[in-house]
Amino acid sequence: MIRRLLATSALTLVVAVSACGRPAENLKQTGPGPTLPGQNETLIPPMKIATPTGWDGQLPTVPAGFTVTAFAGDLKIPRQMLVLPNGDILVAEGAGGKAPKVRPKDVIAGVIKARGKSSVKGGNRITLLRDADGDGTPEVRTVFIENLDAPYGLAFVDGNLYVANQDALLRFPYQPGQTRITTPGEVVTRLPSEINHHWTKSLTASADGTKLYVGVGSNSNVGERGMSVEEDRAVVLEIDRLTGARRTLATGIRNPTALAIEPTSNQLWAVVNERDELGAELVPDYLTSVRDGAFYGWPYSYWGQ
């Protein structure tokens, strides 16, 4: 394993899920001091495609006092969700561009992955769901915003809805109870979207609402396209909410697919998808606090100090 070049005091939590499903072994790979298996790189990455099956009346097991109901279906590739102050739920529906296939293994892997993907196209929209009486079934379902470009991250601050498209961060004025927005969004800042090995743009707001944070994934698995295409990639950006001015908060963070503020400390945290093709037993994805100026190792390493 390559020694990690890490410049942060953050506690990093590896969340590893083995494709072979051995619970005892999986638990060893979690926590602040995980025992990770060795690399097993192969010409064609091992991929197990699950066979889609119905629930057949079964439901997940939940704690006492909780119930599980199907809240909404027939969505067009739902990604992130956001609860508005009045309780309405927004769902971003979209799918971004695909990275070019530059190696023979990319073509083969694409064929295999396609077997496990839905034929549904991304909606490029946001759907609103309203369950006013709290019975678990929304009485109102409507297309809230459409004609977006692969929306993913959502945030609500000071009467405005912020949407992270794959190519730009947009702002939409919002009125309480509104069920549709038709005016075009205002561009707060452009976001890198060339090649798009990773297209998702995660989003959250600082505790005081003055800053927006956007997670931008790398343009490759592990730098195989050269570092010139990685400008403003594998980073968390800090954006001034009013002016759109931005700076890089953290680097070397391969694909930060979810961002959130811990409410007690107001610390920013991220869930990171790390590199692929290390073998079916090694999945070094992790949860970490995001420190100003920190470097999280990509593409040089994925774990260790």
Dihedral class, residue 65 (left if φ above 0, else alpha if ψ from -120 to 50, else beta): left
Tell me the C-alpha distance between 189 and 283, whole Å: 33
Give residue 20's domain range: 1-38
Question: Is there a domain that residue 234 lies in?
Answer: yes
Question: Is there a domain that residue 290 lies in?
Answer: no
Question: Is there a domain that residue 102 lies in?
Answer: yes
Answer for the pair 169, 212: CB distance below 8 angstroms, yes or no: yes
Please indicate, yes or no, whether residues 169 and 30 belong to a single structural domain of this protein: no
Answer for the pair 156, 170: CB distance below 8 angstroms, yes or no: no
Domain count of the fold of the chain: 2
Sheet holding 78-83, edge to edge: 78-83, 89-93, 125-130, 140-145
Please indicate, yes or no, whether residues 218 and 79 belong to a single structural domain of this protein: yes
Question: Is there a domain that residue 154 lies in?
Answer: yes
Task: Give residue-wise pLDDT tens across range 192-246.
Answer: 998 888 999 999 999 999 999 999 999 999 998 899 999 999 999 999 999 999 9
* pLDDT averaged over every residue in the chain: 87
Tell me the C-alpha distance between 200 and 151, whole Å: 8
Question: Is there a domain that residue 47 lies in?
Answer: no
pTM score, two decimals?
0.87
Please indicate, yes or no, whether residues 138 and 186 belong to a single structural domain of this protein: yes
DSSP label at residue 147: S
Task: Give residue-wise pLDDT tens across range 99-123.
Answer: 666 666 677 666 766 666 667 788 9
Write the DSSP string, 242-265.
TT--EEEEEE----EEEEEE-TTT
CATH number at residue 170: 2.120.10.30
Report how far apart, in Å, the C-alpha atoms of 182 and of each of 104, 143, 171, 174, 216 are.
44, 10, 13, 11, 27
Tell me the C-alpha distance between 97 and 198, whole Å: 8
